[in-house]
Amino acid sequence: MKLSEKLITKVTGVNKRGSIIFLHGFPFDQNMWNAQVEFLKDDFLCVTYDIRGLGKSSPGDGQFTMEMFADDCLTIIAELELEKPVLCGLSMGGYLGFRVLERAQEIFTAAILCDTRAESDSDAAKLKRANGVRQINAEGVEKFVEGFVSNCFSEKFKTEHAEEYNVYLERSKKSNSLGVKGCLLAMQGRTGTTLFLPQIKIPTLLLCGTEDNLTPPAEMKEVADKIPNSKYLVVPEAGHMTPIENPEFVNKAIKDFLSGLR
């Protein structure tokens, strides 16, 4: 079985103006990009998949590294024979995205990074991951996911779009506990990519929600300042999950960015 099948890869749309590979955040799955795929599919071949251990992909033995995630992304690009795709990642998908760029930026046309960071985990963040694993073992994955996902969205979104919020929450609560713990440890053990940022040559768009408490706008601005050919936009009325919370703004920003490329 091909890796793209194992990781439930979906290919949507037509390649009139290129292809885009989307990398989702934690503890979500490829559905977090639905609004962007719907918006871009008439012009772009949109590729989404469930990162190892999340969504409907199998957790296997639950032993993941960010390097395995990067290997997976590069393998899927090769299996689908994507020619110079645009890479688009959010948060954990951004950690993975930066690492993939560090390994092979020449195979991409451009990059879009949302609500993410290039620094590796601080000691405090590492201890928080360890507490996450402890909580999942003691109380179960649902309890952990409830707390985590709540922090990902702005209060406004949770109140005004309660139904949509619950769809994402309930989907994440169904995550496999081994897979979620594996992802926590993969993020905990990842390398930092800050020193690589000045070497990014391809056009890069960075987006961050005004109310993102997990990867705050000021930190993303510092990342953008280090990337030579970059554009940085703050997404109004959004927390950490900008593509879900303000799809109109994010879709337009992506469309404008992609239009400027060719």
26 binds ligand MLT (CB under 6 A): yes
Q: Is the Cβ–Cβ distance between 119 and 223 less than 8 Å?
A: no
Answer yes or no: are the C-beta atoms of 247 and 35 closer than 8 Å: yes
Q: Where are the alpha helices (DSSP H) in 105-231?
A: 123-139, 141-152, 155-160, 162-173, 177-188, 217-226
User: Taking the CB of residue 142, how many other CB atoms lie within 10 A of it?
Assistant: 15
Is 91 a binder of ligand MLT (CB under 6 A)? yes
Q: Nearer to ligand MLT by C-beta: 81 or 123?
A: 123
Does residue 247 belong to the site contacting ligand MLT (CB under 6 A)?
no
Nearer to ligand MLT, 26 or 196 (CB): 26
- The H-or-E segment that residue 101 falls in is helix 92-104
Minimum Å gap between C-beta 157 and ligand MLT is 14
Which one of 80, 92, 206, 207 is in contact with ligand MLT (CB under 6 A)? 92
- b/e per residue 165-199 (b: at least 16 CB within 10 A): beebbebbbebbbbbbbbbbbbbbebeebeebbee
Q: Is 113 in the site for ligand MLT (CB under 6 A)?
A: no
For the segment 186-215, give every residue that binds ligand MLT (CB under 6 A): 187, 214
Nearer to ligand MLT among residue 35 and residue 107 (C-beta): 35
In the bound state with ligand MLT, the residue whose beta carbon lies nearer, of 13 and 62, is 62
Residues of this chain that interact with ligand MLT (CB under 6 A) are 25-26, 91-92, 152, 187, 214, 240
